[in-house]
Chains A and B, each alone.
Chain A
Amino acid sequence: MRVVWAFSREESGKGDSSFSLYQAAPRITREPRVRKVSSHQLIAPAGGLRPRPKSQDNPVVFSENLANLLELKRVHQERLEKVEDELSKLQKYKKDYEHLLKRLKTLPDKITHEVMVPLGTLAVVPGQLIHTNEVLVLLGDNWFAERSAKQAIHIVRRRIKDCEDKIRSCEETQRIHLGWLKEAEEVLQGEQGDQVEIIEEMTEEEYQRSQEEHRRRVKAQYTQLTESSTCHPASPPSPPSPPAYVEGLGEGGKRSYEDLMRRLDQLEVEELGEGMEPLEEEDEEEEEEEEEDDEEEEEEDEDEAFSTGTANDANTEKAVTFKPRLRLHSAEAGGCVEEDRAPTDDTDDESSSHGSEKPLFLRKHRLKRRVSWADDARPLYTIIPDDSSADIHHIAYTSGSTAPSTLPLGVDGAVGPAAAVKEAAEYEGDIKSPSDIFKVFGQPFSQSFDDKDAVLSSSPPIKSILKKSMSLPADAPYQMWRGGRGGRGGPPPPPSPPPKRSLSFKPAFSYRVLERKGAAAAAATTTTTTASTTSATKISKVSRL
C-alpha cells in the first residue's frame, strides 16, 4: 500500500494561516504581582517642599483617575494574555517542527517502514511506508512541492527560524506589558509597605521662613563662588553634574544651558538684593542625599553654579564674558538675531542693568532659536531692469521689411507690454490717450528705424483709428503684444485684407524656413546670418530679415 505521507501538513501545520487547526493551549492565569517596594520612591517637587493643605486631593478627580487607571490596567492585562497565548502557541509549533526534523532525518534510513496506518478516526491498519525519500511539502496557500527528505529538512529549519523570530517579538511585547502592569500596581499600592510619600506639613510662616533662609544661603554661596572664580575669570567652572538630559543636547545646547543657569542665578541674586552670608555646606549635602531626581540635580546646579559675577561687578564681567559667547553663538548658529544685537549690546554694556537685560533678551532669542529678519527687512521691489541690464534678453523681431525694432521686452519677454509702456512713459512721459500710444508705437509700421529716439522725433502721420489703412492703428496693441512674445512669430495677421498690409510691410511671419535640424547645412548656406543668431529649432520663428 502506498501512502504518500505529507508530514508537513499533519504535523507542522499549514503555515501561519491555519493556526485554527491547533488547539489553543490552556490559558495561563496570572495574578497581578504585588511586590513590596523596599527602596524609596520619592516624588519630591523641585525647588523644595511646599506646604500642603490638610485636605488632600480633590476626591472626585482622584476617583476618576483611579477608574481610568483600572481600566487601562484591565486592557493591558487582556493584551498580555493574548500575547501569552500566542507565545505558547508558537512554542508548540517550534516543538512540533523539531519533532518533524528528527523524523525526516530518520525516514530515508530504510527504503520501507512498517507502520500502523490510521484508517479514518477509529481504525488503524498495518502498512508500509514507501518512497521514503519523497516528501510533499505544503508551502502555504495551497501550494505543494515535492522535495527530498533532505530538502524538506532545510525547509523545516527555515520555519523553525521564523518561529523563533516570532517568539522573540512576542516575548518583547510580553515584557513591555508586564513592566507596565508592575508599575501600575506599585502606583496603586501607594501608601502600603515601605513606600512613603514625602509630606512635610508646615504652616505658612514656617514656609516663608524657610524660603528666606534658602535665599540667604543661595546668596552666600553665590558670592563665595564668585570670589573664588574672580581669581580665574577665564573659564567659568561648569556645573558639576548637569542633569541627564543635558548630555544629549550637544555642544550648542549645553552651552546655552550653562548660560541659562548662570543667568538665572544672577537674576535671582539681583532680585534679592545685596547681603551675603557664608553658606553652610552641610545643608547642601543633606539635600544631595535625600533627593535623587533629575530635578533635584537641577537645583543643585543652581546652588553650585553661581560661577560668575557678584551683584554688580559680576554683571559687567558676565556681560563681558557674554559677548564672546554671543559671538560664538552667532558664528555657530549664523542667526541674524545675534549679529544684529551684538552692536547694540556693545553700546549698552556700560551699565550692568542694561547689560543684564540685553543678554537676557538675547538669550531668550537664542534659546528660542528664532531668526528674525526684522532688521534686514527690505521692501520687495519689483525690479524692472533698465535697458542695459543683462537680464533683458533682447529678441529682435521684425514685422516686415523694416529694421528690427529695438523695443525692450523685459525679462523673458513676459512683461513686454508693461515694459514697453514703461519705456514709452520714460521717453514720452505724456501718453495720455490711446492716440498717444499709437503715436509712440505706431511707428514700426511706417518707418524703419534703429534708434528709439527716431520713433519720437518724427511726428507720426495722423490717421483715423477706424480706417483700415497702411498703418493700422488696430495693430498697435498687437505690435505691443508681438513685442511681448518675442519668442514666437506673433499672432496671425488680423483679418484685414492682407494685400493692403503688404503695401506697408511684409507679414510678420516670413514663411521662410530658417533652419531645420536635418537641413541645417542647407539652411546655413542660404541664410547665413540667421543661422548664427537663431537656434536650430522649429519653434523659433523669429527672423531677422
Chain B
Amino acid sequence: MGPGALQKKLEEEVEAYKKIQKDISKTSGLRTQLDVQLNENKVVKEELDLINEENVVYKLIGPALIRQDLEEARQNVSKRVDYIQQEIKRHGNTIEKLEKEAEAKRENIAKHQQQLQQMMMKQAAK
C-alpha cells in the first residue's frame, strides 16, 4: 500500500475515532444529567414519603398545576427513579462499549502511523 493510500486510510481512522469520542462524551453527558435527575427524584420521593394524606400534591404539567393523588404521586416517582437507574446503567454500558472501540481504534491508528513512518523513512532512504 502506497504511502498516499495509507495516509488516507489513517485519516479515515482518525475520523472514526473522533466520532467515537464524540459519542462517548455525549453519552457521558447524558449520564451526568441522568444522575442529577436521579438525585432530584430521590429527594422528591423522600419528601413525598414524609407528607401525610391530608396535604395536596400538584404536578406542573405545562403551565398548569394539576392536582394529584398522593399515592399515585408516590408510585410515579418511584417508577421514575427506577427508570432513571436503568437508563443510567444502560448508558454506562454504552459508554464502556464505546470506550473499548475507541481503544481499539487508537491502537489501529498507532499501527498505521508507524507503518506510514516506516514507509516514509524507506522512501527517504531510497
Interface residues of A (CB under 8 A from B): 15-17, 136-137, 139-147, 151, 155, 162
**Known contacts A143-B73, A147-B55, A162-B43; 16 further A-B pairs (Cβ under 8 A):** A16-B40, A16-B43, A136-B58, A139-B43, A143-B44, A143-B77, A144-B57, A144-B58, A144-B65, A145-B55, A145-B57, A145-B58, A146-B56, A146-B58, A147-B51, A151-B51
Q: How many interface contacts (CB-CB < 8 Å) are there between A and B?
A: 61
- The B interface, classified by DSSP as helix, strand, loop or mixed, is helix
Q: Provide the bound-state CA to CA distance between A162 and B44, in Å.
A: 13
Contact with A along B49-92 (1 / 0, CB 8 A): 00100011111110001001000010001001000000000000
Residues on B with beta carbons closer than 8 Å to the beta carbon of A16:
36, 39-40, 43
Given contacts A16-B39, A17-B40, contact A144 B47 (CB under 8 A): no
Residue B37 CB within 8 A of the other chain: yes
In the complex, the answer to whether B37 meets A141 with C-beta atoms within 8 Å is yes
Tell me whether B41 is interfacial, beta carbon within 8 Å: yes
Contact in complex: A143, B48 (CB < 8 Å): yes
Q: A146-B56, A147-B55 in contact; A139/B47 too (CB < 8 A)?
A: yes
Assuming A16-B36, A17-B40, A140-B40, is B60 touching A145 (CB within 8 A)?
no
A145 / chain B contacts, CB cutoff of 8 Å: 47-48, 51, 55-58
Assembled-state Cα–Cα distance A157/B6 (Å): 65
Tell me the bound Cα distance from A140 to B51 in angstroms.
15
What are 11 A-to-B residue pairs whose CB atoms are below 8 Å? A139-B43, A140-B41, A140-B44, A141-B37, A143-B58, A143-B68, A143-B73, A144-B57, A144-B65, A145-B57, A151-B51
CB neighbours of A142 from chain B (8 A): 59-61
Interface residue tally for chain B (C-beta within 8 Å): 22
Q: Complex Cα distance A162/B57, Å?
A: 23
Q: Residues of B contacting A17 with CB < 8 Å?
A: 36-37, 40
Set of chain A residues within 8 Å of B37, measured between Cβ atoms: 17, 141
Nearest-Cβ distance from residue A82 to partner chain B, whole angstroms:
13
Interface residues in chain B, defined as those with a beta carbon under 8 Å from any beta carbon in chain A: 36-37, 39-41, 43-44, 47-48, 51, 55-61, 65, 68, 73, 77, 80
Residues on B with beta carbons closer than 8 Å to the beta carbon of A162: 43
A141–B41 touching, CB < 8 Å: yes
With both beta carbons as reference points, the residue of chain A lying nearest to B60 in the complex is identified as: A142
Q: Chain B residues near A139: list those with CB within 8 A.
A: 43-44, 47-48
Find chain A residues with CB under 8 A from B65 CB: 136, 144
Q: Which of B41, B47, B51, B68 has the largest count of A CB atoms less than 10 A from its CB?
A: B47
Once bound together, how far apart are the Cα atoms of A15 and B80, in whole Å?
A: 17
Which A residue's beta carbon lies closest to that of B36? A17
B97 to chain A, nearest CB (A): 27
Residues of A within 8 A of B43 (CB): 15-16, 139-140, 162
- Give chain A nearest CB distance to B49 CB in angstroms: 11
Contact check, A141 vs B57: say whether CB atoms are below 8 A apart.
Answer: no
In Å, the complex CA distance between A141 and B39 comes to 10
CB distance from B122 to the nearest CB of A (A): 27
Closest to A15 in B: B40
Taking CB atoms, residues of chain B closer than 8 Å to A143 are: 44, 48, 57-60, 68, 73, 77
Q: Which residue of chain A has its CB nearest to the CB of B52? A: A151
Name the CB-closest residue of A to B76: A143
Bound-complex Cα distance A162 to B60 (A) = 24
Closest residue of chain A to B42 (Cβ to Cβ) is A140
A145 to B58, CA, bound (A): 6
Question: Which of A16, A140, A146, A151 has the most chain B CB within a 10 Å cutoff?
Answer: A140
A147 to chain B, nearest CB (A): 6
Task: Assess the A141–B80 pair: CB atoms within 8 A.
Answer: yes
CA distance A17 to B44 in the complex (A): 12
A155 to B47, CA, bound (A): 8
Smallest CB separation, A2 vs chain B (Å) = 15
Chain A residues in 8 Å Cβ range of B56? 145-146
Residue in chain A with minimal CB distance to B54: A146
Contacts of B68 in A (CB 8 A): 143
Instruction: Name the residue in B36, B43, B55 with the highest tally of chain A Cβ atoms < 10 Å from its Cβ.
Output: B43
Closest residue of chain A to B77, judged by CB? A143
Q: Once the chains are docked, how many angstroms separate the CA of A139 from the CA of B56?
A: 12
Which single member of B44, B55, B61 contacts A141 (CB below 8 Å)?
A: B44
**How many angstroms between the C-alpha atoms of A155 and B43 in the bound complex?**
11
Contacts of A137 in B (CB 8 A): 47
Choice from B36, B41, B60 contacting A144 with Cβ under 8 Å: B60
Select from chain A the residue with minimum beta-carbon distance to B80. A141
In the assembly, what is the distance between CA of A205 and CA of B108, in Å?
A: 53
The 7 closest A-B pairs by CB, nearest first: A144-B58, A142-B60, A140-B40, A140-B44, A146-B56, A139-B44, A139-B47
C-alpha gap A200/B66 in the complex (Å): 81
Which residues of chain B are near A15, meaning CB under 8 Å?
Answer: 40, 43
In angstroms, Cα B51 to Cα A136, docked, is 13
Whole-angstrom distance between the Cβ of A152 and the nearest chain B Cβ: 11
CB distance from B12 to the nearest CB of A (A): 29
Cβ of B55: which chain A residues have Cβ within 8 Å of it?
A: 145-147, 151
Measured CB to CB, the closest approach of chain B to A391, in angstroms, equals 48
Kindly list chain B residues whose C-beta atoms are within 8 Å of the C-beta of A147: 51, 55
For A155, the chain B residues whose CB sits under 8 A away are: 47
Q: Please measure, in the bound complex, the distance between the C-alpha atom of A147 and the C-alpha atom of B48, giving whole angstroms.
A: 11
CB distance from A224 to the nearest CB of B (A): 60
- Pair B51/A144 contact, Cβ less than 8 Å: no
The smallest C-beta distance from B58 to any residue of chain A, in angstroms, reads 4
Q: Which A residues touch B57, using CB under 8 A? A: 143-146
Closest B residue to A4 using CB positions: B65
Distance, CA A177 to CA B73, complexed state (A)? 42
Output the nearest chain B residue to A159 by Cβ-Cβ distance. Answer: B43
Complex interface: chain B residues within 8 A of A144 (CB): 57-60, 65
**Which of B36, B39, B44 counts the most chain A CB atoms within 10 A?**
B44
Q: Which residue of B lies closest to A136 (CB)?
A: B58
Please measure, in the bound complex, the distance between the C-alpha atom of A162 and the C-alpha atom of B43, giving whole angstroms: 10
Kindly state the separation between the CA atoms of A225 and B40 in the bound complex, as whole angstroms: 69
**Bound-state Cα–Cα, A147 to B50, Å:** 11
- A144–B56 CA distance with the chains assembled, in angstroms: 8
**Known contacts A147-B51, A151-B51, A155-B47: A141-B40 contact under CB 8 Å:** yes
